[in-house]
């Protein structure tokens, strides 16, 4: 008997879903609170596909500020539409995004 690891396939977000996610993360404190607590629950507000893409994901650290997310919006959207959401573990985290902002300046 062989044991095979369970692989959960996740797909990238659509451009529409990625833009809506970034719109909400940069403008809606209630959405940000839910996203911090349970990303898949928050993603239901975007679409069922977005919620499925974020299933089994968590935000173990503090979400980046609205300002930092706003400054890195296009880079994050590019990542979300080419990689699965949360495939880059810290793409929504303050320190990683702040480095991107500093590098772009």
**Model-level pTM?**
0.76
Answer whether residue 85 shows pLDDT above 70.
no
What pLDDT, in 10s, does the model give residues 5-14? 444 456 788 9
Q: Residue for token digits 């979400």?
A: 63
- DSSP SS3 for 17: helix
What pLDDT, in 10s, does the model give residues 22-35? 999 999 999 999 99
Q: For 61, left (φ over 0), alpha (ψ -120 to 50), or beta?
A: beta
Q: What confidence category does residue 90 fall into, taking pLDDT thresholds of 50, 70 and 90? A: low
CB distance 36 to 63 below 8 Å: yes
Please state, as a whole number, how many other Cβ atoms lie within 10 Å of the Cβ of residue 44: 14
6: tokens are 């369970």
CA angle at residue 31 from 97 to 100, to 5 degrees? 5
Answer whether residue 102 shows pLDDT above 80.
no
């Amino acid at each position: 008997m062989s044991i095979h690891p369970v692989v959960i396939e996740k797909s990238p977000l659509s451009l529409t879903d990625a833009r809506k996610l970034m719109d909400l993360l940069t403008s809606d404190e209630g959405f940000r609170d839910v996203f911090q607590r349970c990303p898949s629950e928050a993603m239901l507000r975007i679409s069922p596909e977005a919620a499925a893409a974020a299933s089994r994901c968590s935000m173990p650290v503090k979400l980046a500020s609205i300002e930092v997310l706003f400054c890195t919006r296009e880079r994050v959207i590019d990542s979300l539409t080419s990689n699965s959401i949360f495939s880059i573990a810290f793409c929504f985290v303050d320190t990683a995004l702040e480095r991107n902002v500093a590098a772009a300046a």
